[in-house]
Amino acid sequence: MNTPADTDATSSTAPRASSDKLLFTPGPLTTSMTVKQSMLRDLGSRDEEFVGHVKRIRQRLLALAGVSQAAGYETVLMQGSGTFAIESVVSSVIPASGKLLAVVNGAYGQRIVQMAERHRIPATVIRCAEDQRPSLPAIEAALRADPGISHIAVVHSETTSGIFNPIDVIGRLVRSLGRVLIVDAMSSFGAVPISMAEWGVDFLVSSANKCVEGVPGFGLVIARREPMLASEGSARTLSLDLQAQWRGLEGNGQFRFTPPTHALLAFSRALDELDAEGGIEGRARRYRKNHETLVEGMRALGFDPYVPADCQGHIITTFPFPKDPRFTLEDFYQRLSRRGFVIYPGKLTQVDCFRIGNIGRLFPQDMEALVTAIRTTLGEMGIQR
């Protein structure tokens, strides 16, 4: 298998497994060997060492978000994927008398709408094109027109396209109008500086297996304590009850139900490696360089990103298919996979596309190697650009 070198002197020295395929995806991601090795032990869920790991993880996550318990914020860890954590918030914090405003410019914003529908939560939806940021005047008009809207939900890095939505501006608007803001920061937290308090974010949701570079197994919610406590009695499920999960963690340091012990050990190590790389700013520099290297190489092959540069984030990049009728994603994907490079199918509704992630334990030389593999693969397929 043709994979690039497994270390990079400009970052943490933790190696990765050279035999693994490289994952250019939105997650799960390529992880370091040391993160994987941290899972090679068993700990009981009630063991004081494990409880200590959980406590430290919760504290460290607050610091990454620029907040603290003293300032009125809490971390809640929730078993399952990031979607579980999103649904935990949506189904737990909006009261029966409340209403949601969902801002949608991709599949993950639409997933929040589906959650509201499933839990019979009244919702107003503001939609815009998948390559465009939402209209701030439209959001303000909707909030002013309907005082019944209590909560607003928006995706920060919409993984459908790779667009960054302006949660700082939206957050300040929402706070000025006295509403509660839920942010899906699934693929941005850990690689994009976020100031929850300054931006007016009340609930921020992410996952272990994204930019912190852990492994799948749990989601995380960083919540402003006041609106979380105000949601007492609003939970519509047992296992996804956000406040009950928080009370359990606060009470004895334990999860209410079986925790993903190995994933939490891996995450603890991944946080160490994030610190070693220079924290969020250091990781963001590497990911931005990955993105720049990818875009430069793909443009040389005739591919332009789908999202305009002024809206494009550095997390994931979407490219429309070649117009050549001989191109099929399945063939393209499998040929790259056999070379050791795994990309991701598209999710756009209007354009056939594929996505390439710039995150995980990947470096600019990996992006160069991927572009080389794409050039060779297109040649084998006889694709004209």
**What is the spatial distance between Cα 214 and Cα 30, in angstroms, rounded to a whole number?**
9
Q: Give, for all 385 residues of the chain, the pLDDT tens digit.
A: 444 444 443 445 567 666 789 999 998 999 999 999 999 999 999 999 999 999 999 999 999 999 999 999 999 999 999 999 999 999 999 999 999 999 999 999 999 999 999 999 999 999 999 999 999 999 999 999 999 999 999 999 999 999 999 999 999 999 999 999 999 999 999 999 999 999 999 999 999 999 999 999 999 999 999 999 999 999 999 999 999 999 999 999 999 999 999 999 999 999 999 999 999 999 999 999 999 999 999 999 999 999 999 999 999 999 999 999 999 999 999 999 999 999 999 888 788 999 999 999 999 999 999 999 999 999 999 998 7
Burial (CB count <10 Å: 0-12, 13-18, 19+), residue 84: middle
- Name the segment(s) of the chain with CATH classification 3.90.1150.10: 22-33+280-381
**Widest pairwise Cα distance in the chain:** 62
DSSP class of residue 134 equals: P
- Residue 158 tokens, joined: 């919409």
**Range(s) of the chain covered by CATH 3.40.640.10:** 37-274
For the question of whether the overall pTM of this predicted structure is more than 0.75, the answer is yes
- The answer to whether 64 and 280 have CB atoms below 8 angstroms apart is yes
Residue-by-residue DSSP string for 343-380: -EE---SSS-EEEEE--SS--HHHHHHHHHHHHHHHHH
What CATH number labels 37-274?
3.40.640.10
What does the DSSP 8-state code read for residue 159?
A: T
- The one-character DSSP state at 43 is -
Q: Which CATH number fits domain 22-33+280-381: 2.60.40.1260, 2.60.40.10, 3.30.390.30, 3.90.1150.10?
A: 3.90.1150.10
Structure tokens, 255: 């999860």
The token pair that represents 147 in the structure block:
């005082």
